[in-house]
Structures are given as structure tokens and as C-alpha cells.
Structure 1
Amino acid sequence: MRAFIRGSYPPVPSILFAVCWAYGVTGLFALTGPPAGPWRPGLGTAVAALTIAVDMLLMRIVDDIRDLPYDRVHNPDRPLAAGVVTRSSLLRWYGVIGALLVLVNLFDCWAALVIAVQLAYALLLLLPGPDPGRLVLTLLLSSPVQLLLHLYLYTLHLRTTGGGFGPSFWPALAVVVLATLHLEVAKKITRSPRPGERTYVTTFGLPATVAVAVLSPVAATVVLVLAAPSAWVLLTLPPLALPALAWWRFRRADRWDARLAFFYLLASFVSWAVTAAAGGTS
């Protein structure tokens, strides 16, 4: 497992991303929810961050197993593709760690249930299905994995606030889906795809793919401004500079700078948390 983590799940950026995800999306739910003053994360948010970090490791296991034929050609240094670990050993670790993850969340039965369903659904993705090279269909089939994690964060948020499921969940979900769409699309943009390379450019063409990468962050910000109108929401605007910079650089490059797409999402998470903690919609 240590070899797999070193090769497929670099701990520092992965854990940083998970912590920002948990705090940022929970802050987003506070922003779009009923006015209640500044948001204050608590122990439940810390448990959520730990859960997201471990869950991302488990999803990495699923992705590496599912992408094994592709990685043997394009990413032969990955632990599974290189033969450092085996499919059966990874699945055993998946079962053990997944069970512990559910147990950690039993303080909230609904949160534990959502995590259990999410882990079970992810395993279904390993069943024979469409060609993983069909990126749009694969994205649609995989999207419940992230949607369930957002529902998990919302469940813990409701436990903290004492509220019930409300319509404010949907604009918040739209914001985070549009923001993550940027990373999903942008990191695969290239003017000259290699033979067999998976990129949305081969499906939609370069102009349309670039348009999605540029407009999805803008759409996410517009939805957030409409859902949480206040002066504080201006704090969520600076991350838009990163997709703009990436687009400007891509005009003279062969590939989109995937690092800027990652940093955009990371900065968005941070901006949502900071905005909610600073004043939110109050």
C-alpha cells in the first residue's frame, strides 16, 4: 500500500486538496443556505476532511484498476501498471479501509450511509462497461461518485446547523459541479493528441473544449453570486484569474497548463470557506 500511495496518491497535495474540498464545499453550503451569520467549521468538518482524504485514496484505487490497460501504454510507471501491486491486494485494502471509513462516520447514521453507498457504487464502475475512452459517457457514469461526496458534506453540514434538506443544496451543487468540470476538461486539453490519448478534444474539437474550460468557472461564479448575493461574495472572484491566465498561455502552447486548473479549483475551495467564515450572506 505504501508503494501504491507513493506512485499514485502523493500524500501532501492529495491531503491538501481533500482538506480544502471538505472545508470549501461545506462553506459553500453555508453561503447558499439561509442567512445565519458567519460560518464556523467544527469537529464534524474535520472528520469530513479526513473522510474525503481517505475516500480519494480509495477512488484512486478504483481509477487505477479501471484504467490499467490504458496505463500500461501511457503511464507504465504507475504501481499497478508496473506490477508493484496487484489488483486483488488493492481490492482487499479497499474493503478494509472502506469499512473503517464507514465506522468513523457512524456518529451520523445518514452520513455513514451516504459514504457506504458511494463506496459500493464506485465498485460497480469496475464491472464490464463501455470503453473508458468514451470520456463523456465515462464522466456521466462516474459523476455519482463525486455527487455522493457532496451529499455527504451537506449531510454533516445539516447536522451542525440543525436544519433540514432545502432547495439551497441545488445551487451549491451546481457551483461545485461547474468548478470541477473546469479541472476535468482543462487537464486533458491538447492541440495534438497522441495516438490513443484520452482527451475531450477528440470528441468536441479544440474550440468547443476550450470554451467549456473557460466558461465553466465563469458560470460557477455567476451561479454563486445569484445564490448568495452579498458584498462578501466578491472574495470568490480572484480564482477566475487562473483559468484566464491558463487560456492566455495556451494560445502559444500545445497543452493547457493542468497545474493552473488544479490551483483554480483549490483556490475556489479556499475562497468559499473564507467567504463563509468572513460573513457569508449575513
Structure 2
Amino acid sequence: MIRRWARYVAGSYPPLPSVPFAWAWAYGVTGLFAAVQPHSPPWRPGLSTLNAAVTLTVMLLMMRAADDVRDLEYDRRHNPERPLASGAVSVRDLLVLCAAGTALVLALNAGNPVALAVIAGQLAYCALVLSVYHWLHWPSGDRLLLSLAVSYPAPLLLHLYLYARYLDTTSLDPGRHGVLAVVIVVLASVHLELAKKITRRRRPGERSYVDVFGLSGTIGIALAAPVLSTVLLVVGARTTPALVPLAVLPLVLPALAGWQFWRKRTLRWSPLAPGLYLLLAFTCWFALGLSY
């Protein structure tokens, strides 16, 4: 089974870029909490942040496995090369993988009751969504907005988990600034979710938000979300004028990708740009958190 897990990880959750992305998420979003929190003591990453990064790495692997189980029939038709669809790994293998990952992340967070409760809630929610889909085949993956609404609480709970870790490290109480940081992250992730599926012509059976909002509407939302995220960051963070360029820098990537898509009339939005934007945003948030 270990070999089958290794084949699955190589095909569906390649360590590069998956692990660096998970670690950037943990360190970047925690830095963002520090950047927007007034009167916060100086924040520096330590063992708690390292623990959170390992937890997110495992959690994102399990979420990938759950998505693959849910999308198995779709992938058999449209992505037959994926490990689960090709038979390189079985559903049972992935369920055992998730069980092992669950035990690991619960053990990692046993010393922090609040963080443990959030992680347990996230795991329970993912299990509920997967069970409902298995038994009722709801929601259909073709209903993109409904599927997004059902699945989004899972990453949202990961943001709250990082907030719980941050509060425990700084001995602060929760407040509206934590909500502001989560909104900033959510808006940034909207760009990734929409932009990676922007295309002028869909492949047979391909799912795209262009079918929901139209091409111009999808592009408009995909570009407005990171701009609004940045505005909230500049206004709400403890950002000195010298640090504003650091907060604005990630917008360069959506702007360049949008220019290329429109002016060069490419068929698809740059496949790398949305992920690189979010990775750069995490990096800049981390730097902002360290600057105080």
C-alpha cells in the first residue's frame, strides 16, 4: 500500500509544488494575522507555525484525496491518467490514507484544544460532504457555484485553524481584525479558483465558470477579487507607506496574465499565473508580518 500511496502522491499531490504551497499558506496567512492585528506583540514563526505547516500539508493531501474520490467518474471520462481513475490506487487505499492522516494531524494538535477542535470540525465536515456525495450524488460537479459553496467551508476552517494557532502563540483574544484577515485571504483565493478555469473554448466535458458568468464576467470577478483583497490589506493592516509596495506587489501577476489573455488573444488564461499570484501573496504577507 505504501507504494500505491507514493504513486498517488506523485500523480495527484506532487511534493513540488504542493508542499511549498502548503508551507507558504501556513506561514503567509499567519503573517497576515500579525500584520492586521493592532497592538500585537512582535510575531516570529516558531514551533507552533512549523506544526501548522505540517498539519496543512497533510490536510491538503487528504482534501485532494477526497476530491479525487468524489470526482472519480468525471476523471474516468476526462482525466483517465490520474492515479485513482487509472487504477494505480484504489478508493480503499485513499480512505486508509485519510484515516492515517487524520490520526497524525489530531496528534500534532493535541496540545492546543482550540486548534484541535477546529481541525476536528474540518475533518468531520469533509467526511460529511464526501458521504453525502457518495450516497446522494449531491451536489453535482457540473453545478460549479453550488459545489463551491458546499466545499469552501473546508479551506475556510483551515484559515480559522491558523488563526487559533496565532492567538495561542500571542496570547491575544479573537476579534474583528481576524475576520478582516480571513476576508483578505478568501478574496485572494477567489482569483485562483476562477482564473485557472478561464478559457475562450472549453474542451468536451470541461467545467468552467465561464459557463456561469460569461467570459467577461468571469475575468472581471477574477481581477476584482485580488484588487479588493489588496485594498483591504492596505487599509486594514499596520502598513507604513514604505511597506505599501510589498502589499501591492502580488497584483502584478493577475495584471500581466490579463493583459496577455486579452491582447494576445490566447485560448486560455496562463495556467501558472493564478497559483503563482497566491504564492507571492503568501510570501508578501509573511514579510509584512515580520516587519512589525
Q: TM-score, normalised by structure 2?
A: 0.93
The alpha-carbon deviation at position 36 of structure 1 amounts to 2.7
CA distance 1:227–1:116, shift in 2 (3 Å): same
2:251 is aligned to: 240
> 1:220 & 1:273 partners in 2: Cα distance?
16
> 1:228 & 1:238 partners in 2: Cα distance?
15
Q: Do structure 1's residue 210 and structure 2's residue 193 form an aligned pair? A: no
Structure 2 stretches lacking a partner, 5+ long: none
The alpha-carbon deviation at position 35 of structure 1 amounts to 2.5
Q: Do structure 1's residue 277 and structure 2's residue 290 form an aligned pair? A: yes
1:266 is aligned to: 279
2:53 is aligned to: 49
> 1:230 & 1:156 partners in 2: Cα distance?
23
1:142 is aligned to: 151
Cα contact 1:233–1:275 (8 A) shared by 2: no
The alpha-carbon deviation at position 161 of structure 1 amounts to 0.5
2:109 is aligned to: 105
The code of the aligned residue for 1:91 comes to L
> 2:238 & 2:41 partners in 1: Cα distance?
14
> 2:174 & 2:249 partners in 1: Cα distance?
30
Matched residue SS, 2:65: helix
> 1:139 & 1:133 partners in 2: Cα distance?
11
Matched residue SS, 2:272: helix
2:195 pairs, out of 186, 198, 206, with: 186
The code of the aligned residue for 1:241 comes to V
In the alignment of these two chains, the number of paired residues is 279
Cα contact 1:80–1:87 (8 A) shared by 2: yes
The alpha-carbon deviation at position 37 of structure 1 amounts to 5.2
> 2:118 & 2:104 partners in 1: Cα distance?
14
The alpha-carbon deviation at position 272 of structure 1 amounts to 0.3
Tell which deviates more after alignment, 229-238 or 123-132. 229-238
Cα contact 1:27–1:277 (8 A) shared by 2: yes
1:256 is aligned to: 269
> 2:42 & 2:80 partners in 1: Cα distance?
48
Q: Do structure 1's residue 163 and structure 2's residue 144 form an aligned pair? A: no
> 1:84 & 1:56 partners in 2: Cα distance?
20
1:78 is aligned to: 82
Q: Do structure 1's residue 27 and structure 2's residue 31 form an aligned pair? A: yes
> 1:156 & 1:225 partners in 2: Cα distance?
24
Cα contact 2:37–2:238 (8 A) shared by 1: no
Matched residue SS, 1:205: helix
Deviation per CA, 1:82-104, whole angstroms, max 9, x where unpaired? 01111122111111211121111
Cα contact 2:36–2:181 (8 A) shared by 1: yes
Cα contact 1:182–1:216 (8 A) shared by 2: yes
> 1:103 & 1:230 partners in 2: Cα distance?
37
Q: TM-score, normalised by structure 1?
A: 0.96
RMSD: 1.1
The code of the aligned residue for 2:154 comes to V
Deviation per CA, 1:112-133, whole angstroms, max 9, x where unpaired? 1111111111122222312111
The code of the aligned residue for 2:55 comes to T
The alpha-carbon deviation at position 229 of structure 1 amounts to 4.5
> 1:50 & 1:233 partners in 2: Cα distance?
30
Q: Do structure 1's residue 196 and structure 2's residue 209 form an aligned pair? A: no
Cα contact 2:139–2:147 (8 A) shared by 1: yes
> 2:250 & 2:150 partners in 1: Cα distance?
29
> 1:49 & 1:276 partners in 2: Cα distance?
16
